[in-house]
Structure 1
Amino acid sequence: MKKLLAFFCLFTVLGCYQPEKNCQDYRTGTFEFKSYLNGEMVTSKFIRKDSIEVDIFQGKKDTSSVRWINDCEFILTNLNPKNRQEREPIHMRILTTSKDGYTFEYGKVGDAQKKRGSVTAVKE
């Protein structure tokens, strides 16, 4: 009986644990995102100033509007889309934060398929 009570207490404490999220810390700043493209690790850099984001990838800049839904979720919409795919807004959700960056989930607005990634804050 004692083991069952101890297990229940441990399960209750761990089940209520939520990682701390300080999403407000990431509304503005300079960040790096690393991913694989055609089997090669590539880095993109972006600068966010609350409602605007400038992405720099392979020497090319692209600008998107940022519409915050709540403290940890926002919609990115490309301001200068070059094709149909770039016209589709992206829903971003910050899942966890740390002093160095955050992890997030993203996908096209209305699409159930989501991917995950992590971002590192760049100290300037």
Structure 2
Amino acid sequence: MKLLYILLLLSLFSCYEKSRNCSDYKTGKFYSEVTIDGKLYKSKFTRTDTLQIETYDKKVDSAQLRWINDCEVIFKTIRPKNMAERKDVHLKILTTTDSSYTFEYSYVGETKKQKGVAYQIKN
């Protein structure tokens, strides 16, 4: 009988799947928070299907977007100012809620990933 309860509990946990309604976040206005080496970085951005304009630390940056699927996108900086900005960034949405998404990102081809959260700004 104990075995039956254990199997039932295991099946309940294995069926649990985190929500990923990525298409809800392909366009709109957002702000994001990323912690790197213990420091919190915040930015605001507006995203269309093909363009993202981001403001961070009073600087504006624009990137072209190429969606791989509803949950993954490649960012290419439009006017890179240095070698780091010439590298494309791969972003993957991991989970979504009704007003935010958790993501991971890295330079294309690199294994070190950072995580963050983006919140949708409702007008």
Which stretches in structure 2 are left out of the alignment for 5+ residues? Answer: none
TM-score where L is the length of structure 1: 0.90
Identify the residue that residue 8 of structure 1 maps to in structure 2: 7
Distance 2:95 2:3 in 1: 32
Q: Secondary structure at 1:6's aligned position in 2?
A: helix
Instruction: State the shift of 1:22 in Å.
Output: 0.8
Higher RCO by CA contacts (8 Å cutoff, separation 6 or greater): 2
Q: Percent identity?
A: 40
CA distance in 2, matches of 1:37, 1:107: 13
* 8 Å Cα contact 2:72/2:90 also seen in 1: yes
CA distance in 2, matches of 1:37, 1:22: 26
Map 1:36-51 onto structure 2 (within 5 A). Answer: 36=35, 41-51=40-50
Q: Is the 8 A contact 2:34 2:115 kept in 1?
A: no
Q: CA deviation at 1:17?
A: 1.3
Aligned residue in 2 for 1:54:
53
- In structure 2, how many angstroms separate the alpha carbons of the residues matched to 1:46 and 1:80? 17
1:65-80 matches, within 5 Å, as: 65-80=64-79
Tell me by how many angstroms 1:36 deviates. Answer: 4.9
Corresponding pairs, count: 123
Dislocated runs of 4+, deviation >3 Å:
35-42
- Following TM superposition, by how much is the alpha carbon of 1:40 offset from its aligned partner in structure 2, in angstroms? 5.7
Q: Which residue of 2 aligns with 1:20?
A: 19
